[in-house]
Amino acid sequence: MVDKIWLDQYPKGVPAEADVTAYDSIKQIFEESVGKYRDLPAFSNMGASISYAELDQQSRYFAAYLQKVLGLQKGDKVAIMAPNCLQYPVVLFGILRAGLTVVNVNPLYTARELEHQLKDSGARAIVIVENFCNTLQKVLDKTEVRTVITTRLGDMLGFPKRPLVNFVVKRIKKMVPDWDIPGAVTLDKTLNEGKWQTLDDVSLTREDIALLQYTGGTTGLAKGAVLTHGNMVANMQQATAWLGDEVVEADEKIVTALPLYHIFSLTANCLVFLRLGGENLLITNPRDIPTFVKTLKNSGFTAITGVNTLFNALLNAPGFEDVDFSRLKLTLGGGMAVQRSVAERWKEVTGVPLLEAYGLTETSPAVTINPFDQEEFSGSIGLPIPNTEVVVLDENDKPLPIGEVGELAVRGPQVMPEYYNRPEETAKVFTEDGFFKTGDMARMDDKGYVYIVDRKKDMINVSGFNVYPNEIEEVVSAMDKVLEAGAVGIPDEKSGEVVKLVVVKKDDSLTEKEILDYCRENLTGYKVPKKIVFTDELPKTNVGKILRRELRDD
């Protein structure tokens, strides 16, 4: 048994154990919420919204179509390839209500990546926004997909927004490359046909697979993490218990800028706030910062999740300081390290602390979260949440003493059972006693707070000394003239590796000398960058994580 030293630090009202067996499936929670909050808005996007009652009806039509018209059976896989739009929750909950498994696909995938994921998952159908049909067309005949359901970005926005948005996207912005997929049907048609079908109630257990969530695509071919209904329900219950009295049922509005096909956003925003009767404000293109700020202006949002790069971009956007933050009570950062300079500025501008959380695709995702009664940025990823055990392991999978750096490992009801069809990969990441090894280097203090030092594979080895990119990025990003920074190791004859730093300027007058002087003042000699490159923007994943591999290639 692990000594849960962190329990003494839990905020008042947060239990050591959440009731993770209260529900058997996401479907059960969904049906409870749409019954309870029928007249409230569930999701909004580009000025349009759908209520819980409409979400219930539309997802029922879609589920019935999948069952009765397509003849899909319990456990069959259906892929979704779409950014944040109102169609996403309709399709997501339709698939789950039909007893099927969701395969989330990143819309920015290349043909090679898409082919791998569709083949690996064995998806039988795909729902796709037509902007990405051109990519699908190239690989469709190499997959098991038999039904392609298409939709346009504006299709659920009502009149006059629907035709206007669809015209602008296709004709003005030219965001829809030509495509031709014989036999493709529109989502509108499936909803109209499903309306006349009866939805059979499918009995789901906690062992049934809810999602095949692909991960690891930046380091090779992506693996499908098998997330069961039990995993997802457990994490929703754990997160809800952690929120405690911070949230008010049927009175929350969360800004959902990270894509819903990403597990952080899917669980923390879509599912947890659906369970609470909240509203998800969907941001389709968070990279369009001026429009994003305009959307936030008078939205009356109470919560927002994001990654460090997103918060940094908002803080540097004209007009952000004029946003109405009067109802904001919760800001949660995850997906990558939150930098102190960004967190402190966020508190200054919004009046609300930016709290860091930590999770992985394989853990549905939440593992640790900072207490919501915390006022200041701590640099920690927080405490293990209820029902969760966390240890720091040495290279032989043996627990290390408090304060020592090793690989973070986690055990709990939110941890996936396996990678899909990959027994060897699964065996590599689990210890004999069932802990999932995260690949992140971390330490725990004497109160149970966990601190991520860096990714195991991103660690830079300078003459036998471990250098963590996060530390260098944190230091350099605190400079007034720096907008963003990324650090990587590059080969060096003398010391094995040296630090290369890639910087985006906030002030054009910034020089290499200024950065080096600052680094020498704040970092030990072997951590000081040997090569500095200036660039207009850092390469990032769709979620905003820095792609360190590409920084090395520059």
Q: What percent of the chain has pLDDT over 70?
A: 99
Q: What are φ and ψ of residue 88, in 5° steps?
A: -55, -55
Q: What is the pLDDT of residues 102-125, one digit of tens each?
A: 999 989 888 888 999 999 999 999
> What confidence score (pLDDT) does residue 219 get?
43
User: Is there a contact between 136 and 114 (Cβ–Cβ < 8 Å)?
Assistant: yes
140, amino acid identity: L
Any idea how long the chain is? 554
- Write the CA distances from 501 to 113, 271, 362, 442, 484, integer angstroms: 29, 38, 30, 23, 10
Q: Which residues of 346-385 are buried (b: 16+ CB within 10 A; e: fewer)?
A: bbeebebbbbbbbbbbbbbbbbbbbbbeeeebbbbbbbbb
Cβ–Cβ < 8 Å for 227, 266 = no
Say if residue 221's pLDDT is above 80.
no
Q: Would you say residue 35 has pLDDT above 70?
A: yes
**Mean pLDDT for the stretch of residues 74-85:** 98
Burial class (CB in 10 A: 0-12, 13-18, 19+), 428: exposed
Q: How many angstroms separate the CA atoms of 292 and 270, rounded?
A: 19
Domains of the chain: 1-22+206-457 (3.40.50.12780), 26-204 (3.40.50.980), 459-553 (3.30.300.30)
The reported pLDDT for the residue numbered 465 is 78
Within 10 A of 342 (CB to CB), how many other CB atoms are there?
A: 26
Q: For the whole model, what pTM was predicted?
A: 0.89
Q: How confident is the model at residue 553 (pLDDT cuts 50, 70, 90)?
A: confident
**124-136 pLDDT tens trace:** 999 999 999 999 9
pLDDT in tens, 425-447: 999 999 999 999 999 999 999 99
For residue 197, name the pLDDT band (cuts at 50, 70, 90): very high
pLDDT class of 225 with cuts at 50, 70, 90: very high
Summarize pLDDT for 304-356 with one digit per residue, the tens: 999 888 999 999 999 999 999 999 999 999 987 888 999 999 999 999 999 99
* pLDDT (0 to 100) of residue 218: 40
User: Residues 443-468: pLDDT tens digits?
Assistant: 999 999 999 988 778 888 887 777 88
Contact residues for 533 (Cβ-Cβ < 8 A; gap 6+): 500, 501, 502, 503, 554
| 223: β partners | 215
554 confidence band (pLDDT: 50, 70, 90): low
What does the CA dihedral 459, 416, 30, 334 come to, rounded to 10 degrees? -10
What local confidence, expressed as pLDDT, does residue 463 receive?
A: 79
